Structure 1
Amino acid sequence: MEKEKWKMPTLTFSLCLLACFLSFTVSAEITVKPGENVTLQCQSPRGEAITALMWIRSDLNPDTDGCVFFFRENRSYEVYQHPSFRGRVQLRDPEMKDGDVSVILKNVTINDTGTYECRVYVNSKGPELMTTVYLTVTDSGHTAGNTWTEGDKDEGKKEEQNHGLTVGLPVAAVIVLLLVVVAVVGFVIYRQRRQRPDQQVHYRAAVPQQV
């Protein structure tokens, strides 16, 4: 009976941790050089009808300043874009197959540095945040290899792999951390259950042998 009482809170705690973990949106960090093209990747739920797509930058108000990219009714609307992004943003897959709503930002400049958010309208519902991308454009330093060169399929595949690694590393780190915490808690409980106060250790005194 005591074992069942002990298992229930542990199970509830584990489920809460799992729910919190799954509720996180995907985030990525990308560093590129001026003049390059960069792919801002975003994935919406597969099989869901996308009614609209909007990419925004956190320091710009989409209602007054405009957004990075806006797509609705099978076409993009430059009228809703910030002037600095007009003519420089396009869907990586115009058909958005399998929920791919990534966009390509061309000929980046230092002014493109910022936090980009991908918001998707699915089945006539309100916008849902899918991905947050932290983009840094700099002349110096190592780039993350997430640039997109049109017409070069091999390079595009490498970029997608690198981007997946960038996103996957934080996720793997969280999973490993959760496993370590569970292992430590289980070990502590195991030690406590073995070392009960009512348990006594008896020692047998050595009996000298007769000569």
Structure 2
Amino acid sequence: MSASLLFISWVLLSETVLCWSQFHEAFVAEAGRTATLPCRHPFNDSVLVVEWSRSDLGEEYVLLYRDEQIDESNQSPSYLDRVDLQDRLMENGDVSLVLEDTRTYDSGTYQCSVVHRSLGEDEESVICTIQLDVSPSSPPLLPPGDENEDDEYEANDGGNKVAGIPFKETVEGAKEGTIVLLVFFMIVFVIATFQIYKRKVRLHIRL
């Protein structure tokens, strides 16, 4: 096998491994935060256009970057002013997507394609496919003084629970159980004392 053929095979294998590894990556983000979907291209400085898309958006796209700027002509309205490239200079092949103020409906499969110049001609290649799952944000802790006994999260204990029961209710239940136990031991003590007294009286009468 010639050296040139070996080189071409290595390049094709490298690109295949890159796409395969990216496809199997799944990212989880919390709603309201900024998420970065990592992606790199192997085409050096020959990239002319970067497009991030979702299969369920039809003809619309998430982001289209060309002529050194974002093209908003056919961008999905839900992504306007919320997306950008992590590095517009695309140094080291970085074409990662930055998505701000994530929302639950941002969940889906994202695909990154680039148009690059190869042997004097423009070619389009899909380089990354990434699954994003945006989960709802956690309920905020209540400030002191605004606690509600019916709320699941308590400000004083940080929403701690024992066996699914709010921490405050658990403490109150423990106090009630302690009181009942003390009353039980007092009753047993009184009965035992009375029995001992009766026994002494009987012995005294026999004597």
Which residue in 1 is equivalent to 2:193? none
Contact 1:46–1:98 (CA under 8 A) maintained in structure 2 = no
What SS is found at the alignment partner of 1:80? coil
Contact 2:61–2:74 (CA under 8 A) maintained in structure 1 = yes
Give 1:37's match in structure 2, choosing from 34, 39, 60.
34
Q: Which blocks of at least 5 consecutive residues in structure 2 are unaligned?
A: 1-8, 139-207
Distance in 2 between the 1:118 and 1:106 partners? 17
Give the superposition deviation at 1:48.
3.7
* TM-score, normalization by structure 1: 0.53
RMSD: 2.3
Give 1:90's match in structure 2, choosing from 84, 87, 93.
84
Which residue in 1 is equivalent to 2:44? 47
Instruction: Report the residue type matching 1:126 in the other structure.
Output: E
Give the superposition deviation at 1:23.
2.2
Which residue in 1 is equivalent to 2:55? 58
CA, structure 1 residues 22+76, in 2 after alignment: closer, same or farther (shift >3 Å)? Answer: closer
Give the superposition deviation at 1:22.
6.0
Matched, 1:106 2:103: no
Contact 1:40–1:102 (CA under 8 A) maintained in structure 2 = yes
Q: Which has the higher contact order (CA 8 A, sep 6+)?
A: 1
* TM-score, normalization by structure 2: 0.54
Distance in 2 between the 1:129 and 1:21 partners? 14
What SS is found at the alignment partner of 1:101? coil
Q: Which blocks of at least 5 consecutive residues in structure 1 are unaligned?
A: 1-15, 142-211
Contact 2:43–2:116 (CA under 8 A) maintained in structure 1 = no
Distance in 1 between the 2:42 and 2:137 partners? 37
Instruction: Report the residue type matching 2:41 in the other structure.
Output: S
The size of the alignment, in residue pairs, is 121
Bigger proportion of residues as strand: 2
